[in-house]
Chain A
Amino acid sequence: MKKELIELRVNGRAHELAIEPSALLLDVLRQELQLTGSKRGCDDSSCGACTVLVDGVAMMSCTLLAASCEGQEITTVEGVSEHGALAAIQKAYGDWGGAQCGFCTPGFMMTVKSLLAENPDPSEGEVRAALSSNLCRCTGYSQMYDAIRSAVEVERKGLAAAK
């Protein structure tokens, strides 16, 4: 298939890429841009390990054409840490055991980020519902709820301190 030139904005940086129109966003991120944080756990958007934000919306990049994302702002897990330091949610996932093998973690990071952007103080039910788009085989999810609660706390304290 003939390649096309597209411009993809990822984590705030623009990349000019020659890709096949059929190329999937996940493959472009992993192979063309070497952003290997987003993972391929299945091939049919059933596991969520490839979740990225497209204009702030959590999307599964394994079933998304890269070409269709032109002109949109893509955020991958590599774009989550803030000012060269771990974001509250990343620190909390480590501290509370929200990540074990870590393969699903990038996907969860993006899902949680999108959840907290919409709902800064979700109830456990809301967290469970949001997280159900992603699969984890290690943790049984429990420690993720603790991590998310703690990250929300930290953010709130941070905001209070900033005021």
Chain B
Amino acid sequence: MSNDFSIIGRPTAMIDAAGKTTGAGKYTDDLSVPGMLVGKILHSPYPHARILRIDTRRAEKCEGVVAVAVGKDAPNPYGILPVGHDEYPLALDKVRYVGDNVACVVAVSEVIAEKALELINVEYEVLPAYFDPEESMKAQSDLIHDSKPGNLEKDYHHIFGDPDQGFAEADHVAEARFIANEVTHAAMEPHSTLASFELDPHTGKPGRLTVWSSTQVPYYLQHKLSLVLEMPMAQIRVIKPLVGGGFGGKSEVIPLEIIAAVAARKAQAPVKITYTREEVFWAHRGRPRTIIDLKTGVRSDGRIIAVKARVVQDGGAYCSYGVVTILYSGALLGALYDIPNIQYDGYRVLTNKPACGAMRGHGTVNVRFAFESQLDELAAKIGIDPAEIRRRNLLKPPCITVNGLRVQSYGLPECIEKTVARSGWKERKGKLPKGRGLGIACSHYVSGAANSIIRSDMPHSTVNIKIDRDGGVVVYTGASEIGQGSDTMTAQVAAEVLGCSLPRVRVIAADTDLTPIDIGSYSSRVTFMAGNATLRAAEEVKKLIAAAAAKKMNCTPEELVFRGDVVIRRNGHVGTAVPGRPAEQSSAASVSGHVEGQILRGSLQQKRKEEGPKDWMTFEEAVVAAIDFHGALTGTGSYAPPQEARGGKHKGAGVGPSPAYSYSAQVAEVSVDEETGEVTVHKVWAAHDCGRALNPVSVEGQIIGSVWMGMGQALTEEMVWKDGMLMNPGLLEYRSPSSVESPEVEPIIVESVDPEGPFGAKECSEGSLAATIPAIANAIYDAVGVRLHESPFTPERVLAALRTKKNVKALNLTEGVDPTSPTRFREHGGALCFKGKGPERHALDPSRRQFPSAAGGAD
């Protein structure tokens, strides 16, 4: 876009793309070390039960089984949030969801480990379980965690401005209950961890631990491993190989990551555990089912005057990121539009289901669905165009919102303008044939949290750069590449600052022994924070090179320009070569650099001296000069969000503030089959303000991917539960959209150039998701005139809404079916049922006779 840059802003293939397309790239499950054993986890078949006794003797005697780990092998609680240390790697005294972790068998093969799982005898005392958050909140006894009365993980009550006064002044008020059902990440790579201890030469006992894991947060994993294993962090090395997608599902410590280390310690051998797809669904940590009671008041000119939201999240059995999720849901009511009065009541509730955690668009997505739907309804009530009502409520940045969020760059107006123009909104809205409609919605997201979850003053990201005589630039960053392009972004930023070509830069990432601390890939923080840290580290090295080069060229460092692998005096001439043609130059330069740097340097330098000062140097020459002058060439940069961006002072104010927010506006075109209730999305126009697109291919990929994932949540994806049992723990049953169900998405990049982002860049991977669901909901309203209050908008729900509109009795699709069956069609109940380990097992079940319980005293 701008000609001032030579690397950034150009579509660039990811630097690790070849490894991915050839299969050479290694993910955790692709790794093996000599003597490695396989771990398999025994999961709870009950949603809520006390463990009375675990007998592992028969399993241990099994040929090929090396060890069986249980809760007491590592009885230390942990959790991703310091306020939520409520999990044990393996259950100590209680299981809290179907799938909770009870024991881990380590064996020489997967088959043997699986067989041995059947030989572990666990005696449970089944407790009453809670599956519905509103029921769970009424609990008096049999609490899920004894320290949480009413099964309430956390509640927050925020009032900003004067909402009551606001509603009194409102000309129109809309009020409704919205429900967004539970969804999960379903990243293509199932979680996997390989843990290996080495013997300490001084003590002769197991010493350092190395863990390879599919994680978005190597540093947090190192921290939690240290806590649970009671080892110093310095003794633990976490390496993140390629990660096959995260979307938040790998942004906290997943049980297997710690279980693998506990099992390796007990088995005294390296252990790898890889989840089956079904286990991935149980591990979950996805977006919670959310009940939103929303009330919005507007003036007749369309200005929003007050918002009141009561949000209940079905958080599952453990805290996970829950406290943060419930805070984001409230905080991100602000920073998109100018809302003067907000009341927020948020409840994070515990239930006996797998824990929910962070998922793409953490906390904001479900509330945004409700808000944008209601805004659409109000626009219709007043008779204002839905795009126009959004324009009338824009913020006027730079500003600080009523709930303390600082907004600087704000590309929302341009996003709305561009989607409206590209989609033909003005010409086509309301004029499409019956059953077809257009809907608009907006969203935003943080570019990283301004406050780290572990409270401290440490920088959120630090980056080291080392350049050696060969002219190779090595960037050491803790930022985690999980497919979003973090390594490529890092290389681009370093190359841009140093004026060198991209292949010259090598990125060493996410290895806690080698790379400085970066708190990980989540809340879309990497480009902004690790990008800024890289920028600063590169600037520091550049200063050193410039000082040495300037001396050689008899000029001041400020006169030097770094570009196209050449360091040149401003207005100087590069002999025959012309800067700005990096391809030709870098090949010539690398040869000369090799020669000069290592073999003939002395004589060439002599020659150069005789020739007298020049106007330019190759990058290698400048690097060699700098190393000769300074002794070494390294630089460090770090980033911590500025104090002004860290939010207000109220309780819970820490979540929501970000150094910058991304903005998105989308128009969706859908058609609805009124006979079947089926919704088809034809096209989505998605404009996203990412500050500056450092790599347009990646930015567009992130926008399309977000919109697509939002569409999945809007139409098909849903975790279906029956008494705490997941009914669809498989990729076919979960119904992630395939290529034939995926619409065309037109990404539109808007660049607002943030004053604090690296080259002005902000978030681009999450913000778009939240707008898609309401854009589709609003398009459905435009198409057939029904307002859907519960996602996903399945044919049943659409049909029910259509029939209600026509005042026809709603069809009960499950009428006459077994009353104990789930309300949705049951595709399969998962391997737990198949293996006969479920609660309702028949006494004559053959597998039961085959493995009599040890308690029976048969042996």
Q: List, in ascending order, chain A residues with CB within 8 A of B29's CB.
A: 36, 39-40
Q: In angstroms, how far is the closest chain A Cβ from the Cβ of B503?
A: 14
Partner-binding segment picked from A63-71, A77-85, A153-161: A77-85
**A101-B731 in contact (CB<8A):** no
Q: State in angstroms the CA–CA spacing of A87 and B445 once bound together.
A: 38
Q: Which of A80, A97, A141 contacts B697 (CB 8 A)?
A: A97
Q: In angstroms, how far is the closest chain B Cβ from the Cβ of A31?
A: 8
User: Could you list which residues of chain A lie within 8 angstroms of chain B, going by C-beta atoms?
Assistant: 30, 35-44, 46-47, 49, 76-78, 80-81, 86, 89-91, 93-97, 99-106, 109, 127-129, 131-132, 134-144
Q: State in angstroms the CA–CA spacing of A44 and B731 once bound together.
A: 9
- A-B pairs, 5 with minimum CB distance: A37-B23, A101-B483, A102-B20, A103-B244, A140-B708
Interface centre among A38, A44, A106, A137 (most CB of B within 10 A): A137
B430 within 8 A of A: no
B100 within 8 A of A: no
Q: Which of B189, B732, B744 contacts A46 (CB 8 A)?
A: B732
**A132-B740 in contact (CB<8A):** yes
**B188-A47 in contact (CB<8A):** yes
User: Could you list which residues of chain B lie within 8 angstroms of chain A, going by C-beta atoms?
Assistant: 11, 13-14, 16-27, 29-30, 185-190, 242-247, 274, 276-278, 482-485, 697-698, 700-701, 704-705, 707-709, 730-732, 736, 738-740, 742, 744-745
Q: List, in ascending order, chain A residues with CB within 8 A of B742's CB.
A: 128, 140-142
Given A41-B731, A128-B739, A138-B701, also A94-B277 (CB < 8 A): no
Q: Which of B25, B701, B740 contacts A102 (CB 8 A)?
A: B25
Can you name 29 A-B residue pairings with CB atoms under 8 Å? A36-B26, A36-B27, A37-B22, A41-B188, A41-B244, A42-B731, A80-B21, A93-B20, A94-B14, A97-B698, A99-B17, A99-B20, A100-B483, A101-B189, A101-B482, A102-B20, A102-B242, A102-B244, A103-B242, A103-B244, A105-B20, A105-B21, A106-B21, A135-B188, A135-B736, A142-B704, A142-B742, A143-B701, A144-B739
Q: State in angstroms the CA–CA spacing of A39 and B739 once bound together.
A: 19
**A137-B704 in contact (CB<8A):** no
Q: List, in ascending order, chain B residues with CB within 8 A of A90's CB.
A: 18, 21-22
Can you name the residue of chain B whose Cβ is closest to the Cβ of A76? B23
Q: State in angstroms the CA–CA spacing of A78 and B745 once bound together.
A: 32
The prevalent SS among residues of A at the interface is: loop
Q: List, in ascending order, chain A residues with CB within 8 A of B188's CB.
A: 39, 41, 47, 49, 101, 103-104, 135-138
Q: List, in ascending order, chain B residues with CB within 8 A of A129's CB.
A: 739-740
Q: State in angstroms the CA–CA spacing of A142 and B730 once bound together.
A: 24
Q: State in angstroms the CA–CA spacing of A36 and B13 once bound together.
A: 23
Q: State in angstroms the CA–CA spacing of A96 and B697 once bound together.
A: 7
**A97-B700 in contact (CB<8A):** yes
Q: List, in ascending order, chain A residues with CB within 8 A of B277's CB.
A: 41-44, 47
Q: A30-B30, A90-B18, A143-B704 are in contact. List 11 more A-B contacts (CB 8 A).
A: A36-B27, A41-B190, A42-B277, A42-B730, A93-B20, A99-B17, A101-B188, A101-B482, A132-B738, A135-B736, A143-B701
**A86-B705 in contact (CB<8A):** no
**B23-A35 in contact (CB<8A):** yes
**B23-A100 in contact (CB<8A):** no
**A143-B22 in contact (CB<8A):** no
